[in-house]
A and B are shown apart, each in its own frame.
Chain A
């Protein structure tokens, strides 16, 4: 699905050539500073490589409309942002930004369930815990039904039990819907348990 060739970002990060297969779960591991988050940003075109080429579905990223590409290859970054409103209003606000019709309440609850959020839709987001906010944020992103879902440290604010449940459910949903899942995690246990394919970014790639 993705292929990287001689990719270099601002001469700080040099990536080994790699391919990321479609329809499976790929985990990207490595120490902090090895360029995991940057790799995800490169893949959805939020930033561009200084050198080298990235192809998506056999076409270079430059050939895609950047906005449509980001909608198709969705990145859920580590920094969660929710509006100071209820969960339902957050769904609506983000949908309005994307210019798509609002989701019905049953639909919202379905995605919240997948992400193990068992809170009423009227809960105000600014009083939720860090872990709850992270899961609500992932649920909203998941509901966009992208072709590729990239999660950056999705379990950083979660305890082991919640982390396992979240990854398990999200992976199952992605498998059912032929969504390619890419997870960045410094937690090797998660990678070994859920990944069909592991990419290890060594600190040595850095210059």
Chain B
């Protein structure tokens, strides 16, 4: 296999031309998001360049502290983003969401790196990209799950009130909402598994093949990461909701939404 062709800056700049295509479609269809397009592209570029520089430094000077610090910052951001998308939940619920996301994410990352890949958790080359994928997907899953849960309990307030008035216990009332939200959070991952290899060659596998890894090795990694992603989504949403819904009622079994 050949090593990947490094992009020189001139060639690389060509890809930005494609943004002009997006821009012209937006103008034509009067989509008023030009500002977002510019901000998003610039932010992405700056953030990724920074990540590139930091990773280069860490790979050149591998030290457990750097790896741990990188993961902690990533986890912190994932929690922050998941909570920011669900601002209206109560304070304790937010803490539970953050704790569930961090604990499930870190547990799955450790299992993946130490048991499946079989390298040290402090090895930045494996730990950093793998935890990025796992944390990112866990964050999306948790955001979606909590959002679904929260929207449903508000839109179905009449049902909750009717059951509360009848003397049904809050856990019995809220569990179906939690189950529904876990399902909603899990479905995108499960659905994407169906088309994998036929309609999509996932990013990690594509990247590995481009950089010269044997396709059979690349698919093993891909299968492993997708299973890890579905596990982390399921586990983090389950923990967030299973412990989180308890913040919605008090000792007198009164619902406080």
Q: Chain A residues in contact with chain B, CB under 8 A?
A: 44-48, 66-72, 74-77, 79-81, 94, 97-98, 137, 141, 144
A and B contact pairs by CB, cutoff 8 A, 30 listed: A46-B164, A46-B254, A46-B255, A47-B254, A66-B252, A66-B254, A67-B168, A67-B169, A70-B165, A70-B166, A70-B167, A71-B167, A74-B165, A74-B166, A77-B161, A79-B157, A79-B162, A80-B158, A81-B158, A81-B159, A81-B161, A81-B163, A94-B166, A97-B168, A97-B172, A98-B166, A98-B168, A137-B162, A141-B166, A144-B166
B253 located at the interface, meaning its Cβ lies under 8 Å from any Cβ of chain A in the complex = yes
Chain B residues numbered 160-180 whose CB sits less than 8 Å from any CB in chain A? 161-169, 172-173
Task: Please tell me the number of chain B residues within 8 Å of chain A, measured between CB atoms.
Answer: 18
> Would A71 and B166 be within 8 Å (CB), given that A48-B254, A97-B172 are in contact?
yes
Q: How far is the CA of A44 from the CA of B162 in the complex (A)?
A: 13
Q: Which has the most chain A C-beta neighbours within 10 Å: B172, B252, B255?
A: B252
Q: Output the least CB separation between B130 and chain A (Å).
A: 44
Note all chain A residues with C-beta closer than 8 A to B157: 79
Q: How far is the CA of A172 from the CA of B197 in the complex (A)?
A: 70
Q: How far is the CA of A72 from the CA of B166 in the complex (A)?
A: 9
**Of all chain A residues, which has the CB nearest B159?**
A81
Chain B residues numbered 210-257 whose CB sits less than 8 Å from any CB in chain A? 252-255
B253 touches A66 (CB 8 A): yes
**Of all chain A residues, which has the CB nearest B160?**
A81
**Of all chain B residues, which has the CB nearest A44?**
B165
Q: How far is the CA of A19 from the CA of B11 in the complex (A)?
A: 85
Note all chain A residues with C-beta closer than 8 A to B254: 45-48, 66
Q: How far is the CA of A144 from the CA of B172 in the complex (A)?
A: 18
B167 touches A77 (CB 8 A): no
Q: How far is the CA of A195 from the CA of B166 in the complex (A)?
A: 24
> Would A68 and B167 be within 8 Å (CB), given that A79-B158, A81-B158, A97-B172 are in contact?
yes
**Known A46-B164, A46-B254, A79-B161; further 8 A-B contacts with Cβ < 8 A:** A46-B165, A66-B252, A67-B253, A68-B167, A77-B165, A98-B167, A137-B162, A141-B166
**Of all chain B residues, which has the CB nearest A82?**
B162
Digitize B83-118: 1 where CB-to-A-CB distance is under 8 Å, 0 elsewhere. Answer: 000000000000000000000000000000000000
Note all chain B residues with C-beta closer than 8 A to A77: 161-162, 165
Note all chain A residues with C-beta closer than 8 A to B168: 67, 97-98
Q: Output the least CB separation between B176 and chain A (Å).
A: 10
